[in-house]
Amino acid sequence: MNSKLAIRDLNIHFGDNHAVKNVAMEVAENSVTAIIGPSGCGKSTVLRSINRMHDLTPSARVTGTIMLDDTDIYGRSVDPVTIRRRVGMVFQKPNPFPAMSIYDNVIAGYKLNGVLKKGDADEIVESSLKRVALWDEVKDRLRTGAVELSGGQQQRLCIARTIAVKPEVILMDEPASALDPISTLKIEELIEDLKSKYTIVIVTHNMQQAARVSDVTAFFYIGELVEIGETRKVFTNPEKKQTEDYITGRFG
């Protein structure tokens, strides 16, 4: 397998706070990589560096390289907007646009790119919503507001919005943490299904979830990458003591 993302010497500071330290890791194409670790260890911070979300935070400083195929994401001549079109993101809390209908939320990314023919839009909406298993639930009310959906439906809508623009990589930051077990299961099935087309990096606090959905697991502790390896191996036979303590719940 090719490596889709290659992170080297990644250091991230917020003012004086050295939040991510010398991280190096690779992510294979069409795989699911789970990032686990205790709260505050820098999982979200690493994830958000992959589509340059830290550009919005004035105090944040990112150094090192992140290669997306042959492009250095933090290269001088690289436009963050083109990077974000290639690397989509799903957030912890569902954040559909409340002033838009379900339909318009799905094609929101296309509204940025200019005109979209009506027929094409219909097709994109239908196929995206089918992918996230939301189509049957909303096909009769596509024009109603997105906030009328339940939390789990909203999150699936946000995933549909992300995959509608066909990114190469999808970043997910605890996408199921606010959801009930059934919605969570749907999202996990969805991730399994998305893997064939996309490269996925997912942050999760849920060990079983990481074990179920991911091919590779990375364990972080206080800003450092402690261990990364095949999920089965990390969970059954970790190399580091810290990892073992964490996954067996003998921590702190």
Partner 1 sequence: MQNSAQGIKGDAIFRGFTLLLACSIIVILLLMTAEMVKESLPAISRFGWRFISGSTWDAVQEEFASLPYLYGSIVSSILAILLATPLSIGTALFITELAPRKVGAATAALVELLAAIPSVIYGLWGILVMTPWLQSTIQPFLIEHFGFLPFFRGAPYGVSMLAAVFILMIMIVPIITSITKEVLMAVPSSQKEAAIALGATRWEMIRMAVLPYGRSGILGAVILGLGRAIGETMAVTMVIGNTPKISLSLLSPAYTMPSVIANEFAETTTKMHASALMEIGLILLFVTLVINFLARMLLWSVTRKWKGGVA
Ligand X SMILES: Nc1ncnc2c1ncn2[C@@H]1O[C@H](COP(=O)(O)OP(=O)(O)OP(=O)(O)O)[C@@H](O)[C@H]1O
Nearer to ligand X, 59 or 237 (CB): 59
Answer for which of 37, 42, 96, 223 binds partner 1 (CB under 8 A) is: 96
Task: Report the C-alpha gap between 25 and 9 in whole angstroms.
Answer: 9
What's the CA gap between 98 and 61, in Å, rounded? 32
Q: How far is the CB of 23 from ligand X (least distance, A)?
A: 12
Looking at beta carbons only, is 8 or 85 nearer to partner 1?
A: 85
Binding mask 49-88 for ligand X (x = CB under 6 A): --------x-x-----------------------------
Shortest distance, position 82 Cβ to partner 1, whole Å: 7
Residue choice 20, 66, 134, 158 for contact with partner 1 (CB under 8 A): 158
Q: What binding mask, one character per residue, do residues 209-238 give for partner 1 by CB under 8 A, x or -? A: ------------------------------
The 6-25 site mask, x for binding ligand X (CB under 6 A), equals --------x--x-x------
Site for Mg ion in 33-52 (CB under 5 A): 44
Least CB distance to ligand X at residue 14 (A): 3
Nearer to ligand X, 71 or 95 (CB): 95
- Residue 197: contacted member of ligand X, Mg ion, partner 1, none (CB under 5 to 8 Å, by partner type): none
Residues numbered 101 to 140 that lie near partner 1 (CB under 8 A) are 108-109, 111-113
What is the phi/psi pair of residue 134, to 5°? -115, -15
Maximum distance among all alpha carbons in the chain? Answer: 56
Interface residue list for ligand X (CB under 6 A): 14, 17, 19, 37, 39-45, 57, 59
Interface residue list for Mg ion (CB under 5 A): 44
